[in-house]
Amino acid sequence: MSEIPDLGPVPQRIAVEVAQVHRLIAGQFPQWAELPVKPVAVGGWDNWTFHLGADKLVRLPSAAEYALAVEKEHRWLPVLADRLPLPVPVSLAKGEPDAGYPFPWSVYRWIDGAPASRESIADPVRFALDLAEFLAALQGVDATDGPRPGVHNWFRGGTLRTFDKMVEDADDSDLVREIWAAALDAPWDGVDRWFHGDIARGNLLLDDGHLSAVIDFGTCGVGDPACDLAIAWTLLTADGRKAFRERLSVDDAMWARGRGWALWKTLASSVEDEPESRRILGEIFSEYADQSCG
């Protein structure tokens, strides 16, 4: 058995202020120095994000570990974008440490859209199929020399055993242990494929209720793409989940690993949103029971 990676300590995040972003832009990209800067209303955890004028986004990693993704995104997003059926972030510039900010950072073109939610998706099955088409195209991109799982993406695309202790500490119920064990035992064929790594509501944008773009490729890489299947339980409806699996032609082993990723992700976030976590766990448990009976 290969060595299980060590996730290491929790990243030490730093704060970034609007005035600091102004100084970074003025010092390195003076052509944009007069554009207004304001925080994005709903930002992420890994990066501090700011509007720059009407059509740009400044993205600054909040910790050293997250900054590892900057070079990767600038290297690979142009390659992926040409081969994907939906818009993805387009890098306009890469900034360097300055003005008291210690990491590399990025300027992207702003992509309009509303974060996906169960309530805002117009057609759950159509949404599931469109997402499956996107992931099928992503998995079809040549994986040669692509970034392998590591600290840069918190070992997405690698073995679920990395998170074994976290799941055990979060919930030791018999059903959780059974589902998790099934995921750990499900074999991977070892063929590297591209994955996004964080296919989640906030990274799936809607236009008039339909999937219109996929953002935030900080956890992308090549390896086992089962991590991208977690969305089947965290967001999709039962009918959408079925259509999603059929379009991607997912076998039982990969589906079990995807369910494991959904289980870990949900248990890891249960403190942040307990009602939503309970709902998702219910989806995981009922789907697992239906498959076991079938």
What H or E segment, with its residue span, contains residue 257?
Answer: helix 252-268
CATH superfamily of 18-109: Phosphorylase Kinase; domain 1 (3.30.200.20)
Q: Are strands 204-207 and 193-195 parallel, antiparallel or unpaired?
A: unpaired
d(CA 258, CA 234): 11
Q: What pLDDT score does 3 carry?
A: 65
Q: What pLDDT score does 6 carry?
A: 73
Q: Are strands 105-109 and 91-95 parallel, antiparallel or unpaired?
A: antiparallel
Q: What is the pLDDT of residues 136-161, one digit of tens each?
A: 999 999 999 999 999 999 999 999 99
Mean pLDDT within 282-294: 90
CATH superfamily of 114-293: Aminoglycoside phosphotransferase (APH), C-terminal lobe (3.90.1200.10)
Does the pLDDT at position 2 exceed 60? Answer: no
d(CA 89, CA 263): 28
Mean pLDDT within 163-188: 95
Instruction: Report angle CA 273, 286, 170 to the nearest 5 degrees.
Output: 40
d(CA 92, CA 248): 32
Q: What is the pLDDT of residues 215-238, one digit of tens each?
A: 999 999 999 999 999 999 999 999
* Number of alpha carbons in the 13 Å side-chain half-sphere of residue 269: 17
At which residue do the structure tokens 């992308």 appear?
Answer: 220
Instruction: Report angle CA 127, 128, 132 to the nearest 5 degrees.
Output: 115
* Domain locations in the chain as residue ranges: 18-109, 114-293
Q: What pLDDT score does 162 carry?
A: 96
- How much of the chain exceeds pLDDT 90, in percent? 89
At which residue do the structure tokens 């219910």 appear?
Answer: 282
> Which of 268, 101, 251 lies closest to 187, judged by CA?
251
DSSP conformational letter for 225: G
